[in-house]
Chains A and B, each alone.
Chain A
Amino acid sequence: MISRRHLLQSAGIGAGALALGALPTSRLLAAGNLTFVSWGGTTQDGQKASWAEPFAKQSGMGVLQDGPTDYGKLKAMVDAGNTVWDVVDVEGDYAFHAAEAGLLEPIDYSIVKKENLDPRFSFEYGVGSFYYSFVLGYNKDAVGSKTPEGWADIFDTTKFPGKRSFWKWSSPGVLEMALLADGVPADKLYPLDLDRAFAKLSSIKKDILWWASGAESQQQLASGEVALGKFWNGRMYALEQSGANTGISWKQNMALADILVVPKGTKNKEAAMKFLALAASPEGQAAMANATAYAPTNTASLPMIDKKMTSTLPSEHADSQITLDMRYWAKNRDAIGERWYAWQAA
């Protein structure tokens, strides 16, 4: 007969053994794998298929997906000396800002091949992930027969009534859009005239909704909650593919890149560099472009892109394209951010 004490003792030993066994295993799990972090949704699915899976096959090292990218978490990790994220996809201006703040590992260009990388989007501390454009997305049911074209149409609430939606956080794009709509020529955008931009935005403030994630932007447009907005082109492509009745205008599209960075103190530095080498390679960039309609940051990828995808890529719409100045934003990030949030809350 098993006494209660005996049962408790053996249960205790069993639990202890399990705990002891589990502890190093979980650490090994993290150590033997690369952690890749991005923004989730269709974009991260594309990155997983184009880079993570080929890398895992090639190197035998598993790739864990995490996300969404959180700059607060990144800083906390690096400051605490406990970096668990190995490769992180961040917004371009943040990459420059983080490099200056000493949060990133320099890219090992002996492992990552530098030739053919678009110099706009790769630098000492980061490799271009993909480049995208902010495009004017619209819900065809909501706008009716008229087709919106340039950014000035977003500010025309008589011609196109309804709500508009923009990216919520302080980031390149919305202010430039307001200035372009107000008539500022593309080559005279920087330094940004903040007063003029905020005044223009205030003219439609009560009609503005904000999207805080790519999926939310797709949801808002597809459901008809907003009639027009400024969105990431890849998400709009995914929306059209899924059958939603939406359209895109590429006029005055604004190009910006996401950059892959390696946070300082990562334990898998060499593996991270090898991963970047694959991601930045012509094949890796072409695969990503084919999957997501985002443009490659490796100029040698262009011939490898599916013919049917080319019309969906920012690289094909360069005629009225404006490249946003990430270095300007990196320098002025905090000042603009404070003003942005104060205006948003007003």
Chain B
Amino acid sequence: MFEAISTAPYRSSRFPRLRLGGLRPALPALIFLFLFMVVPLSSLLLLSFTTPEIGLGNYTKLLADATYGRVLLNTFSVAGLVTVVSLLIGYPVAWLLAILPSRVSQLLFAIILLSMWTNLLARTYGWMVLLQRTGVINRLLLHLGLIDQPLSLINNLAGVTIGMTYIMLPYIILPLHATISAIDPAIMQAAAITGARPRQIFWHVMLPMSLPGIGAGCMMVFVMALGYYVTPALLGGTSNMMLAEMIAQQVQSLLNWGLGSAAAFILLAVTLVFYAVYIRAVGLGRLR
């Protein structure tokens, strides 16, 4: 039987063959995951089909209603915006971390990690203090004479984007840094020797080689941003409400648990679809 496995034609790395016997060491973790994730999620799914009455009522209500559709659309667009902005800011930082001398880069790393470990609520409230009409940023700009009226930086899309990008940055910088520092500088030297200009080297050599890191980081940030509750609730306005806040309203105020669960499951389903598309595009074997 051993020969059969080793001489079998090698399948593409997209879906590596699973050897079930090898799962035995993972059994405790799988049981834990099953008990504390699969079981509660399934009971929630059941709730969405049975409360207040059995059937697909909650789902038809959600998908037909314009308000919920708008909230869903808004959730995805804000998450997408945050991902793009985080990438634009995070890529140069990751690159810098990869090329700076190790003492400086270690210091920068420590700063990034410390900010990631600081309590989420404390950071969000910190941003409220900075972004308010009478907050630090507005006071500084007014004092410098750059603006006449305080800028509206909070309780709108700007506030949400700033706050969430700040929180997501470490999550995009770390995978990007891992990928970029793994790029062999000799390849880029070779490109330069063969006559490529710096911009060409970036576009045609570095960017494609850092694509796995970009993909991993963006996927992580996008999926996290989809489900975020606290930061959009505190820094955003109600007109660009995100799905998590809507679910909270249903669950806590209207006590409409069936609808809340249905909304949560729609979000989960769409996220899984995105993830499946991502895996197809990148290939399972190349995930880091």
Note all chain B residues with C-beta closer than 8 A to A163. 133
Q: Could you give, for residues 237-263 of chain B, a 1 whenever the CB lies within 8 Å of some chain A CB and a 0 otherwise?
A: 111010000100101111111000000
Complex Cα spacing A169 to B250, Å: 11
Shortest C-beta distance, A328 to chain B (Å), equals 17
**Are B252 and A345 neighbours in the complex by a CB distance under 8 Å?**
no
Note all chain A residues with C-beta closer than 8 A to B70. 345-346
Q: A223-B132, A224-B134, A225-B134 are in contact. Are A344 and B238 (CB under 8 A)?
A: yes
B210 within 8 A of A: no
Complex Cα spacing A223 to B241, Å: 24
B233 within 8 A of A: yes
Identity of the chain B residue whose Cβ is nearest the Cβ of A205 in the assembled complex: B239
**Are A345 and B253 neighbours in the complex by a CB distance under 8 Å?**
no
Q: Pick the contact of A334: B67, B132, B133, B254 (CB < 8 A).
A: B254
A342 within 8 A of B: yes
Note all chain B residues with C-beta closer than 8 A to A337. 253-254
Note all chain A residues with C-beta closer than 8 A to B71. 345
Complex Cα spacing A179 to B280, Å: 56
Note all chain B residues with C-beta closer than 8 A to A210. 238
Task: Supply 12 A–B pairs (Cβ within 8 Å), ascending by A.
Answer: A71-B255, A72-B252, A72-B257, A75-B255, A209-B155, A223-B135, A334-B256, A338-B254, A342-B65, A342-B67, A344-B241, A346-B239
Shortest C-beta distance, A207 to chain B (Å), equals 11
Highest count of chain A CB atoms <10 Å: which of B132, B233, B238: B238
Q: Could you give, for residues 199-238 of chain B, a 1 whenever the CB lies within 8 Å of some chain A CB and a 0 otherwise?
A: 0000000000000000000000000000000000100011
Q: Could you give, for residues 138-182 of chain A, a 1 whenever the CB lies within 8 Å of some chain B CB and a 0 otherwise?
A: 000000000000000000000000010000111000000000000
Complex Cα spacing A209 to B237, Å: 7
Highest count of chain A CB atoms <10 Å: which of B233, B253, B256: B253
Complex Cα spacing A345 to B134, Å: 26
Complex Cα spacing A170 to B134, Å: 29
A192 within 8 A of B: no
**A positions within 8 Å CB-CB of B:** 70-72, 75, 163, 168-170, 205, 209-210, 212, 223-225, 334, 337-338, 341-342, 344-346
Note all chain B residues with C-beta closer than 8 A to A70. 252
Other A-B pairs beyond A169-B253, A170-B254, A225-B133, 10, CB < 8 Å: A72-B251, A72-B255, A163-B133, A209-B237, A225-B154, A341-B246, A344-B239, A345-B71, A345-B241, A346-B70
**B positions within 8 Å CB-CB of A:** 65, 67, 70-71, 132-135, 154-155, 233, 237-239, 241, 246, 249, 251-257
Shortest C-beta distance, A233 to chain B (Å), equals 23
Closest 4 CB pairs of A and B: A72-B252, A344-B238, A342-B67, A224-B134
**Are A224 and B133 neighbours in the complex by a CB distance under 8 Å?**
yes
**Are B254 and A341 neighbours in the complex by a CB distance under 8 Å?**
yes
Shortest C-beta distance, A98 to chain B (Å), equals 9
Shortest C-beta distance, A272 to chain B (Å), equals 22
Complex Cα spacing A342 to B133, Å: 27
Q: Pick the contact of A71: B155, B246, B252 (CB < 8 A).
A: B252
Shortest C-beta distance, A116 to chain B (Å), equals 33
Shortest C-beta distance, A174 to chain B (Å), equals 13
Shortest C-beta distance, B228 to chain A (Å), equals 16
Note all chain B residues with C-beta closer than 8 A to A334. 254, 256
Note all chain B residues with C-beta closer than 8 A to A168. 238
Complex Cα spacing A102 to B256, Å: 16
**Are B238 and A345 neighbours in the complex by a CB distance under 8 Å?**
yes
**Are A345 and B133 neighbours in the complex by a CB distance under 8 Å?**
no
Shortest C-beta distance, B248 to chain A (Å), equals 8
Complex Cα spacing A169 to B71, Å: 17
